[in-house]
C-alpha cells in the first residue's frame, strides 16, 4: 500500500520532532539531576560546616560525656545519619548514628565531600578539619533520578503534547493547503480524461498550486487543440488513403487491361504468322498441279508451322499454370544446384551457338538443396544461358555462379553482351516481351522462369553488374528436407 503525500509529510515531520525533542528531553533530565545533585552537595557542605564548627567548640569546652550527648542530639535532625569526631592523628574519638558509614581514620588536612551508599540509600560524608582534628558529618540524600522524575515526566508530557499539536496542525494545514487542491486538480483531470473538453482548474489558496492549475489548464487546452488538429489530419489522411486505394485499383485494372491487350497482341502476332503460312500452303495444295515432292515439302512446312503454334500454346499454358504451388500437386524432391549447373553445361556445350562462348562456372562446395526441383532448375538456367548467348551473338563470356548468401542460394547468370535496353527493363518478365527478331522467340521464356521461381517463394531479377552486359540473379530458399 502506497502512502499519500500528506501521511508521508506528517510521518517525516514526526521523525524530525522525535529527533529534536529526544535530545532535548535527555538534556533537561540530565541537567535537572546535576542541578539537584549540586544543590544537595552545597547544602551538605554548609550543614557539615555548621555542625563541624559547633562540635569543634563543644569538644574543647565540654566533657566527653557532654560531647556524646551533643552528638546524639544532632543525629537524626536535618537528615544527619552519623557524626564522627577525629583527633589530630586521624583516629576516631567519638561517634554517633550509623557508625558503619563513618571512616575509621581520616586525613584531617583538607575539607572533603564523599558520596556513600548505605543500607538506607545514598549518603554524603562531609569532612571539616579543625585545630584539634576533624569532624565528619554523614547526611542522607534521596536518589536524584527519583526526585527529578516528576519534572522529567512533566517535560516529556509537554513535549508529547506539543509534538502532537504540531503534527495535527501540519496534517490539517497540508490537507487544506496542498491535498485538497491537488485532489481538485486530479478530479478535473479525470473529467478531461472522461471526455470533457476543458479543464476547470479550481482556485487554490497557495500561489504555487494556483499557478500549477493555470499551467495545467493552458496545457490541456493546447493538447485538446492539437488533438482536434490531429483528428482533422487523420481524417484528411484517411480520405487521401481512400483516394489512393481507388486510384491504385483503377491503375491495377488499367494495367491488367493493358497486360491483357499486350498478351492478346503478342499471341495474335506469334500465332498469326504460322497460321498465315498454313493458310497459304493449304491454298497452294488446293490449287493442285504440284509434284509429289512439292506436296511433301508443303506438308512438312505445314507440320513445322503447326509444331510452332503448339510450342507457343504450351509455353503459354506453362506460364499461366505453374507446376508448383497447386494444393493438389505433390511436393517435388529438393533440387541440387550444382548438379543442375553441370547438367546445363553438358546440354550447352554441343550447341553451335556456344562454340565460341567462354563459360566460367563457380560453385561453392557443399551447397544445400533448394525447394525448386532439379529439372526446373535446369530449365531456368538453360533459358537464361540461351538468352545470354543470343544477346552476345555467339561470341563473348558467360559466367555462372552459385553460392550461399543470407540463408538463401544465390544463382547468378551474367554475360558481357550489350545488356538490356532501358525501355524494355520494366516489362522484361511479361509474356511476349522479347528483344529478338520476329520468329526468333516468343517472349515467354523469362515469364515462365519467373513463374517457376516465384512458385517456390524465390525471386528472379535483373540487377546491374560490375561491367556491361546483363546480370540475372535467382534467389531460392533452402529446402528443409536435405535428401
d(CA 299, CA 302): 5
- Sorted by sequence, the CB contacts under 8 Å of residue 154 that are 6+ apart come out as none
Query: Mean pLDDT, to the nearest integer, of 417-442?
Result: 65
Do 33 and 118 lie in one domain? The reply is yes
Whether pLDDT at 307 is above 70 = yes
Whether pLDDT at 343 is above 80 = yes
Whether pLDDT at 421 is above 80 = no
Number of domains present in the structure of the chain: 3
149, 272, 373 from 116: Cα distances, Å: 22, 142, 115
Whether pLDDT at 416 is above 50 = yes
- Sorted by sequence, the CB contacts under 8 Å of residue 469 that are 6+ apart come out as 391, 396, 414, 415, 416, 417, 418, 419
Task: Tell me if 46 is assigned to some domain.
Answer: yes
Q: Which of 115, 164, 167 is nearest to 138 (CA)?
A: 115
Do 279 and 413 lie in one domain? The reply is no
d(CA 206, CA 438): 93
Do 62 and 17 lie in one domain? The reply is yes
Task: Tell me if 78 is assigned to some domain.
Answer: yes
Query: What pLDDT does 326 receive?
Result: 42
Task: Tell me if 170 is assigned to some domain.
Answer: no
Q: Is the pTM of this model over 0.95?
A: no
d(CA 276, CA 298): 14
Task: Tell me if 354 is assigned to some domain.
Answer: yes
Alpha carbon 120 to its chain centroid, in Å, reads 76
Do 343 and 451 lie in one domain? The reply is yes
Are residues 398 and 415 in contact, defined by beta-carbon separation less than 8 angstroms? yes
Query: Mean pLDDT, to the nearest integer, of 124-145?
Result: 81
Task: Tell me if 108 is assigned to some domain.
Answer: yes
Looking at every residue in the chain, the average pLDDT score rounds to 79
Determine the 3-state secondary structure of 189 from DSSP: helix
Structural domain for 144, as ranges? 5-148
Query: What pLDDT does 412 receive?
Result: 93
Domain-ending residue, one of 127, 148, 169: 148
d(CA 442, CA 387): 12
Task: Tell me if 228 is assigned to some domain.
Answer: yes
Whether pLDDT at 291 is above 70 = yes
312, 360, 369, 373, 481 from 456: Cα distances, Å: 24, 27, 13, 10, 14
The domain that holds 216 is classified in CATH as 1.10.287.130
Task: Tell me if 155 is assigned to some domain.
Answer: no
Do 10 and 143 lie in one domain? The reply is yes
Do 298 and 353 lie in one domain? The reply is no
Do 130 and 14 lie in one domain? The reply is yes
Find the range with the poorest average confidence among 158-172, 227-241, 243-257, 393-407. Answer: 243-257
pLDDT by residue (tens digit) across 168-179?
Answer: 888 888 787 777
d(CA 474, CA 460): 5
Domain-ending residue, one of 118, 148, 178: 148
Per-residue three-class SS string for 51-73? HHHHHHHHHHHCCHHHHHHHHHH
Do 60 and 104 lie in one domain? The reply is yes
Do 371 and 470 lie in one domain? The reply is yes
Do 406 and 458 lie in one domain? The reply is yes
Whether pLDDT at 444 is above 50 = yes
The domain that holds 112 is classified in CATH as 3.30.450.20
Query: What pLDDT does 318 receive?
Result: 58
Query: What pLDDT does 311 receive?
Result: 66
The domain that holds 453 is classified in CATH as 3.30.565.10
Do 130 and 261 lie in one domain? The reply is no
Domain-ending residue, one of 293, 321, 349: 321
Do 292 and 342 lie in one domain? The reply is no
pLDDT by residue (tens digit) across 207-248?
Answer: 777 777 778 778 888 888 888 899 899 999 999 999 988 887
Query: DSSP letters along 253-273, please?
Result: HHHHHHHHHHHHHHHHHHHHH
Task: Tell me if 24 is assigned to some domain.
Answer: yes
Q: Return the top range by mean pLDDT from 115-124, 189-198, 279-288, 395-404.
A: 395-404
pLDDT band at 438 (very low <50, low <70, confident <90, very high): very low
Query: What pLDDT does 317 receive?
Result: 63
Amino acid at each position: 500500500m502506497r502512502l499519500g503525500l500528506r501521511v508521508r509529510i506528517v510521518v517525516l515531520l514526526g521523525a524530525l520532532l522525535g529527533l529534536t525533542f529526544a535530545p532535548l528531553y535527555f538534556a533537561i533530565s540530565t541537567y535537572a539531576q546535576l542541578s539537584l545533585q549540586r544543590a544537595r552537595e552545597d547544602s551538605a557542605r554548609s550543614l557539615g560546616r555548621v555542625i563541624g564548627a559547633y562540635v569543634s567548640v563543644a569538644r574543647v569546652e565540654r566533657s566527653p560525656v557532654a560531647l556524646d550527648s551533643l552528638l546524639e542530639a544532632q543525629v537524626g535532625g536535618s537528615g544527619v545519619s552519623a557524626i564522627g569526631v577525629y583527633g589530630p592523628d586521624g583516629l576516631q574519638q567519638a561517634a554517633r548514628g550509623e557508625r558503619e558509614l563513618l571512616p575509621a581514620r581520616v586525613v584531617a588536612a583538607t575539607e572533603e565531600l564523599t558520596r556513600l551508599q548505605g543500607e538506607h540509600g545514598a549518603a554524603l560524608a562531609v569532612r571539616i578539619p579543625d585545630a584539634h582534628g576533624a569532624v565528619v558529618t554523614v547526611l542522607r540524600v534521596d536518589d536524584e533520578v527519583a526526585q527529578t522524575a516528576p519534572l522529567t515526566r512533566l517535560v516529556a508530557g509537554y513535549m508529547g503534547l506539543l509534538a502532537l499539536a504540531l503534527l495535527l496542525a501540519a496534517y490539517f494545514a497540508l490537507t487544506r493547503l496542498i491535498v485538497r487542491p491537488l485532489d481538485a486538480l486530479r478530479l478535473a483531470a479525470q473529467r478531461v480524461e472522461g471526455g470533457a473538453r476543458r479543464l476547470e482548474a479550481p482556485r487554490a489558496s497557495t500561489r504555487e498550486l494556483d499557478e500549477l492549475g493555470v499551467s495545467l489548464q493552458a496545457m490541456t487546452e493546447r493538447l485538446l487543440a492539437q488533438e482536434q488538429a490531429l483528428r482533422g489530419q487523420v481524417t484528411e489522411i484517411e480520405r487521401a488513403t481512400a483516394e489512393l486505394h481507388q486510384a491504385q485499383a483503377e491503375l491495377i485494372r488499367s494495367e491488367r487491361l493493358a497486360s491483357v491487350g499486350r498478351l492478346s497482341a503478342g499471341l495474335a502476332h506469334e500465332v498469326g504468322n504460322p497460321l498465315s503460312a498454313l493458310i497459304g500452303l493449304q491454298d497452294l495444295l488446293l490449287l493442285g498441279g504440284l509434284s509429289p515432292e512439292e506436296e511433301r515439302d508443303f506438308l512438312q512446312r505445314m507440320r513445322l508451322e503447326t509444331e510452332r503454334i503448339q510450342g507457343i500454346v504450351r509455353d503459354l499454358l506453362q506460364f499461366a499454370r505453374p507446376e508448383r504451388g497447386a494444393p493438389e500437386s505433390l511436393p517435388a524432391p529438393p533440387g541440387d544446384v550444382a548438379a543442375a549447373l553441370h547438367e546445363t553445361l553438358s546440354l550447352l556445350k554441343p550447341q553451335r551457338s556456344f562454340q565460341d562462348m567462354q563459360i566460367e562456372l563457380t560453385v561453392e562446395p557443399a551447397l544445400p538443396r533448394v525447394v525448386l526441383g532439379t529439372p526446373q532448375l535446369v530449365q531456368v538456367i538453360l533459358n537464361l544461358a540461351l538468352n545470354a548467348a543470343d544477346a552476345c551473338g555467339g561470341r563473348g563470356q558467360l559466367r555462372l555462379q552459385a553460392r550461399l548468401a543470407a540463408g538463401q542460394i544465390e544463382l547468378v547468370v551474367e554475360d558481357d553482351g550489350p545488356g538490356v535496353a532501358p525501355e524494355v527493363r520494366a516489362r522484361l518478365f511479361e509474356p511476349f516481351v522479347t528483344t529478338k527478331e520476329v520468329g526468333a522467340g516468343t517472349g515467354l521464356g523469362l515469364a515462365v522462369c519467373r513463374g517457376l521461381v516465384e512458385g517456390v517463394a524465390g525471386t528472379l531479377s535483373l540487377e546491374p553488374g560490375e561491367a556491361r552486359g546483363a546480370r540475372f540473379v535467382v534467389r531460392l530458399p533452402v529446402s528443409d528436407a536435405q535428401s
